[in-house]
Amino acid sequence: MSQPARAVSAPLSPTLARALLEQARTALAAVVVGKEQAIELALGCLVGGGHLLIEDVPGTGKTTLAASLAQVFSLGFARIQFTADLMPADVLGAQIYRAQDATFHFRKGPLFQQLVLADELNRAPPRTQSALLEAMAHGQVSVDGTSHPLPRPFAVVATQNPLDLTGTYPLPDSQLDRFQIRLTLGHPSAELEARLLLRGGAQKARESLQPIGDAGTLVALQQLAQRVDVSADVAHYAVALARATREHPELERGVSTRSALGLMAQARAMALWEGRDFVTPGDLRSLLVPCWSHRLLTRGAVEGSFQRDESAHLLDELARRVPAPV
């Protein structure tokens, strides 16, 4: 069950935040081996208050990473396996009639945890996929006209199989835009894969993973990230990058204002990795692909990995073309 968030005993400084993030990265790297950059981005997404989308073929460690993220902060965790017959009530919960007193009461669904793994999200039909929209946007769900708040902190980690696999439904644009970060894990190197085979997978490593704090630790990191300074020049640079995607001749659709806000939230969180209390233009440039590649629509592109690759190429081009403030 989810635990109430408790505040850390002392106020966090950027230096202490960096030390905590390094501890979390080290703990996670012992489970998800060889994926340090993905671990950094995933932790930054949690600290930035966002939701994470992991796109990859089955068996590459997506579920392991999500479960380990919850474990390293002692978060309440639920895994929902999305299938073609999953209904919205199976995710959100439902009103249940109680015969003893002839009343209805709300039975919470698995979404009422602090970190929720929506496993193979694109195997569920669009109606069930959309059940997550209000939760991801507002931290609450509405059932029969009544709103129910979700626990704090709250984050969704969704996994998605490539769209050319059997039985997949493309995620709608409105849902993709709710994910602050998209990343792929890929297959490990030959040496790391052999090491995984020798140790019998990641389960034993997960059993020995020690939390670096509780939910209150994560809340304190999130609050500190929100106070990281963004100068007017850096804010205008983010706007210039966003507008460049909307005006690019090869893009049917550029990024939204929500996307720009997500980029800045991720940049604030990632600044803590260096013990800084301010965002630099370099922070924004380094995050364009993981923050925006899933939000772009290229002209005449086929949905899926090819479009993501093309979007990443165009974002790299824009990062070089749009002048950064000094």
Checking if the pLDDT of 301 tops 70, the result is: no
Instruction: Compute the mean pLDDT over every residue in the chain, rounded to the nearest whole number.
Output: 87
Q: Helix, strand, or coil here: 205?
A: helix
Which fold, 229-319? Helicase, Ruva Protein; domain 3 (1.10.8)
Checking if the pLDDT of 36 tops 60, the result is: yes
Structure tokens at 196: 């995984």
CA atoms of 67 and 71, how far apart (whole Å): 6
| DSSP per-residue letters across 230-277 | --HHHHHHHHHHHHHHHH-TTEEE---HHHHHHHHHHHHHHHGGGT-S
| DSSP per-residue letters across 126-178 | HHHHGGGHHHHHHSEEEETTEEEEPPSS-EEEEEE--TTSTT--PPPHHHHTT
pLDDT of 2 reads 42
CA atoms of 47 and 286, how far apart (whole Å): 17
Query: Per-residue pLDDT averaged across 290-319, rounded?
Result: 78
Q: Residue 207: CA atoms inside 13 Å, Cβ hemisphere, count?
A: 6
Q: What percent of the chain has pLDDT over 70?
A: 91
pLDDT of 1 reads 41
Query: Per-residue pLDDT averaged across 144-167, rounded?
Result: 82
pLDDT of 215 reads 95
pLDDT level of residue 165 (50, 70, 90 thresholds): low
Query: Among 84-93, 163-172, 195-204, 290-299, which stretch is predicted with the lowest mean pLDDT?
Result: 163-172
pLDDT level of residue 131 (50, 70, 90 thresholds): confident
| DSSP per-residue letters across 64-124 | HHHHHHHHHTT--EEEEE--TT--HHHHHEEEEEETTTTEEEEEE-TT-SSEEEEETGGGS
Checking if the pLDDT of 237 tops 50, the result is: yes
CATH 3.30.420.10, domain 14-222, yes or no: no
My answer on whether omega of the bond before 153 falls inside 30° of 0, hence cis, is yes
Domain boundaries, the chain: 14-222, 229-319
